[in-house]
Structure 1
Amino acid sequence: MATPATTTPTTPSGKAVPAWRGGFGRLWTAAVVSRFGDSLRTAALPLLAASLTDDPLLIASVTACGYLPWLLFGLLGGAVADRVDQRRAMWAVDLVRGALMAAFAVAVALGHAAIALLLVLAFALTTLGTLFDNAATALLPSLVPTETLAAANARLMTGQQLAGGLLAAPLVPALLLAGPAVPYAADAATYVLAALLIASLRTGAPERPPRPAGSTLRAEMAEGLAVLRADRSLRWLCTATTLCNIGMGALVATLVVLVTDGLHAGNAGYAALLTAFAAGGVAGGFLARRLAERTGRVRAVFLAGTVQTGCLVLLGTVPVLEVSIGAMVVFGSMGTVWNVQQTTLMQERAPDGMLGRIAAAFRTLAVAGTPLGAVLGGAAAAGWGPLSPALVAAALFALAVASLAPLIN
């Protein structure tokens, strides 16, 4: 992979860290700005859905529809990301998403919101995101030296959690008071700003080995799957992440139901849990590299998943707002630890010119269970009560941790 020809800064302890110059600072800013807007939307959308219907299954379907495009277009997005200029693909996608969000904000302001419209919006944004996310994963190694990838991923995820949870989530109730369309208009503006920042990057043409004559997108997608399957560490990590994503789908899709019906905490309680999760995510960004240095990346993932399982048990058995807030702080911190190690392992182990496809194969397989989890969570909440999806998620996380056992030696 190409790396920038810049001097790598270090911490006082001698650890290499990514330089803010050379493009990483602008990519970081774009990612943080975009996450801020996305968090406004993702926090407001379930509340909007809950105001349109009292059916938990329909509310959960909005979340499920937001993941479904990964099953249909995820592999294609990765193959395209390995063919095109990733920077151009990213800013173009963000401009389109900004236009979609602006149109949705107008529809909400005019009182034309409906569950069907929410489903279409979630599907369209995620379809575009299959290209954007794979391109972003493949672009980062061209902006920072290889030895700083873990630190760069940690900084990106920490900044996103800080902006998305600690800054955005608490603003949602106030923005909704200003008008039901305000969170969505703000999200549209952040997409445009992020597109401008990414367009300003000067990364040069991507360095890739030449493709064989007559190579097709289908063959290149299959190659990404084959490389993922052949890599033992990535294969088992993908299995564990898939199980966790089923559990996350069940939890996230019904979190508003858990808060409003299980904890009786209302919109303020919902915002508090989202903020707690984000605060934990920020802390996890500072912890991720240190934990990996002590235990290794795979063991750090194993530990994170074990702790998250315990947090989910608390959410599903102790219907007390303060306990749930504490559980979400720890749950969020361990989630960042998991994600940093997972992304860094992919970037370190991917052959040149294949990171987009490997990331796409990993994400497609991992995300495949999330729509199932969302529907499962909605059905559990409808049949067994608002706390049950957290226990369903705990069981799936426990299975995920057990699936990592072949890598622990």
Structure 2
Amino acid sequence: MTKNVLLYILTDTLASGSDVISSMAAALVAVDLASNSFQSGLILFSASIPYVLFGLAGGVVADRVDKRRLMIWCDLVRAMLLSLIPLAAAFHRLTVPVLIGSLLLASSVRAFYFPARKGLTPDLVADEVLLNQLNLYLNATESLGGIIMPIVGSVLLLWTHAIPDLFWIPVTTLFISALAVYLIRLPKQLPSLGATPLNDLMQGLALVFSQRSPLRYLVAAFATAIVAEAGVIKIALPKILTAMHLSHNVSYGLAIGLMASAEVGMSFLWVKRRASRSPTWIFGGYAVRAGGLALLAMGLGIGSLPLLMGAIVVQGIGMPISGPSLTTALQTHTPRPLIGKVMAIRSTIGNLSDGASYLLIGGLLEVLSLDRVLWLCMTLAALSALTFLILWSRHPVSQSWERGQAG
């Protein structure tokens, strides 16, 4: 691997790790500050609102400026914004509005960071095979950050017992990430400019959602899987751990670390498989994750901690089967001038789906039992994976892509 690739993997790992621990901390703080499950979901949903306003614009900006510089500034600004949460807590000023405001601003900045980061990836490798391998390695190292950060967070909680202090971890990692991006050296490239920013955006939307493009089925399956799963991991899982007489503040971080461990192991196994380059496997990954939800419901139903741990591992195994393959499919079949915008579309849809899931799961938990909510989510995940697989397989363009992968 080149120096640039190693630095990029480092910054990607740190930035993703900061997202994991920020998300974990936000979920725990939301549970503590909120009066019920729906309000917890509403707090977490607030972090998705900026993607409605800035998500697509972030892709247009990423394609019109130096992606490295944009990533550096985003890292630094996000670090400063997230530091407001533990500072407010230290002065006994942390309230729901303060938490929501900080998450809103930090998410607004991330809306510009993500398309720049994913748009930079193809510039580091020579062909599609290396690109898919790099995406799998990135998934593995991101998951490694997902192991280390929650464990570090759990240890920190044992020491301080102050959940907002968890935000000091992403603050630190984001500063280091900015330094790593600064050290990456790539040939200077002219920005990709369309006639107008609006024209740029419309080209990206047309590429993903036109009837001639099968990418819309991949994106739709991606969105539905998130709606079915995100709220379960962020809102339902702490309640499951509590129902099994475990301290959710500490055990939640360990559970997320276990999921990430399974994701790391599967990523390194999957990178050696030629089949991993086939977009069809994206749907297989979503089906595996639906199976994880079923095991989670069964583990809760019979009160089995080993089955609960198995469900978390299965969820982790399904992640690298679907995630990196989706990223590679979008990067490979997108013209270079549009890649930032397409990555922004993916990021926007993903984050809006996160928010929808938090509201949906939080609301359902107010009117249904925990096990029924899990079975409903499993059904949604399984049916959506099957439906979009059928639609994908019948599209003539996707058939030609599959033949190209096989060749």
Alignment TM-score > 0.5, same fold:
yes
> How has the CA–CA distance of structure 1 residues 53 and 294 changed in structure 2, closer, same or farther, with 3 Å as cutoff?
closer
Of residues 377, 386, 389, the one that matches 1:393 is 377
Structure 2: state its 5+ residue gaps: 395-407
Task: Tell me the secondary structure at the aligned position of residue 387 of structure 1.
Answer: helix
Q: Does 1:41 align with 2:26?
A: no
Query: Which range moved further: 247-256 or 330-339?
Result: 247-256
Q: Structure 1 CA distance, aligned partners of 2:95 and 2:122?
A: 41
Residue 240 of structure 1: CA displacement?
0.6
> How has the CA–CA distance of structure 1 residues 138 and 363 changed in structure 2, closer, same or farther, with 3 Å as cutoff?
same
Q: Structure 2 CA distance, aligned partners of 1:265 and 1:202?
A: 48
Q: Structure 2 CA distance, aligned partners of 1:27 and 1:296?
A: 22
Q: Tell me the number of residue pairs that the alignment of Structure 1 and Structure 2 aligns.
A: 385
Q: Structure 2 CA distance, aligned partners of 1:208 and 1:93?
A: 18
Q: Structure 1 CA distance, aligned partners of 2:165 and 2:101?
A: 19
Residue 208 of structure 1: CA displacement?
5.2
Write out the 4+ residue segments of structure 1 that deviate beyond 6 Å after TM superposition.
none
Deviation by residue 1:217-243 (Cα, 9 ceiling, x = unmatched): 122111100011235331110111111
Residue 207 of structure 1: CA displacement?
4.5
Structure 1: state its 5+ residue gaps: 1-18
Asked if the contact 2:227–2:354 (Cα under 8 Å) also holds between the matched residues in 1, the reply is yes
Asked if the contact 2:71–2:178 (Cα under 8 Å) also holds between the matched residues in 1, the reply is yes
Deviation by residue 1:23-64 (Cα, 9 ceiling, x = unmatched): 111111112123333333322222222222341111112221
Instruction: Give the residue type in structure 2 aligned to 1:193.
Output: I
Deviation by residue 1:124-165 (Cα, 9 ceiling, x = unmatched): 22211111000011101111222310111111111111122x
Instruction: Give the residue type in structure 1 aligned to 2:271.
Output: R
Q: Does 1:199 align with 2:179?
A: no
Query: Which range moved further: 323-332 or 62-71?
Result: 62-71
Question: Which residue in 2 is equivalent to 1:89?
Answer: 70
Q: Does 1:123 align with 2:96?
A: no
Residue 183 of structure 1: CA displacement?
1.7
Question: Which residue in 1 is equivalent to 2:397?
Answer: none
Instruction: Give the residue type in structure 2 aligned to 1:183.
Output: L
Q: Structure 1 CA distance, aligned partners of 2:50 and 2:136?
A: 27
Q: Structure 2 CA distance, aligned partners of 1:117 and 1:148?
A: 44
Question: Which residue in 1 is equivalent to 2:399?
Answer: none
Residue 273 of structure 1: CA displacement?
1.8
Q: Does 1:186 align with 2:169?
A: yes
Q: Structure 2 CA distance, aligned partners of 1:318 and 1:288?
A: 27
Asked if the contact 1:306–1:398 (Cα under 8 Å) also holds between the matched residues in 2, the reply is yes
Q: Does 1:103 align with 2:103?
A: no
Equivalent residue runs for 1:265-280 within 5 Å:
265-267=246-248, 268-280=250-262
Question: Which residue in 2 is equivalent to 1:10?
Answer: none
Question: Which residue in 2 is equivalent to 1:228?
Answer: 208
Q: Does 1:162 align with 2:147?
A: no
Q: Structure 2 CA distance, aligned partners of 1:332 and 1:272?
A: 13
Equivalent residue runs for 1:53-92 within 5 Å:
53-92=34-73
Residue 360 of structure 1: CA displacement?
1.6
Q: Structure 2 CA distance, aligned partners of 1:282 and 1:46?
A: 23
Query: Which range moved further: 295-304 or 54-63?
Result: 295-304
CA RMSD of aligned residues (A): 2.0
> How has the CA–CA distance of structure 1 residues 74 and 34 changed in structure 2, closer, same or farther, with 3 Å as cutoff?
same
Task: Tell me the secondary structure at the aligned position of residue 111 of structure 1.
Answer: coil
Of residues 286, 303, 311, the one that matches 1:305 is 286
Asked if the contact 1:64–1:249 (Cα under 8 Å) also holds between the matched residues in 2, the reply is no
> How has the CA–CA distance of structure 1 residues 386 and 117 changed in structure 2, closer, same or farther, with 3 Å as cutoff?
farther
Q: Does 1:347 align with 2:331?
A: yes
Greater helix fraction, Structure 1 or Structure 2: 2
Deviation by residue 1:341-391 (Cα, 9 ceiling, x = unmatched): 000011111112110111222332344332221111001112112334432
Asked if the contact 1:61–1:119 (Cα under 8 Å) also holds between the matched residues in 2, the reply is no
Equivalent residue runs for 1:237-256 within 5 Å:
237-256=218-237
Asked if the contact 1:207–1:353 (Cα under 8 Å) also holds between the matched residues in 2, the reply is no
> How has the CA–CA distance of structure 1 residues 341 and 104 changed in structure 2, closer, same or farther, with 3 Å as cutoff?
same
Q: Structure 1 CA distance, aligned partners of 2:371 and 2:22?
A: 24
Instruction: Give the residue type in structure 2 aligned to 1:224.
Output: G
Residue 256 of structure 1: CA displacement?
4.4
> How has the CA–CA distance of structure 1 residues 221 and 297 changed in structure 2, closer, same or farther, with 3 Å as cutoff?
same
Equivalent residue runs for 1:337-376 within 5 Å:
337-376=321-360
Task: Tell me the secondary structure at the aligned position of residue 337 of structure 2.
Answer: coil
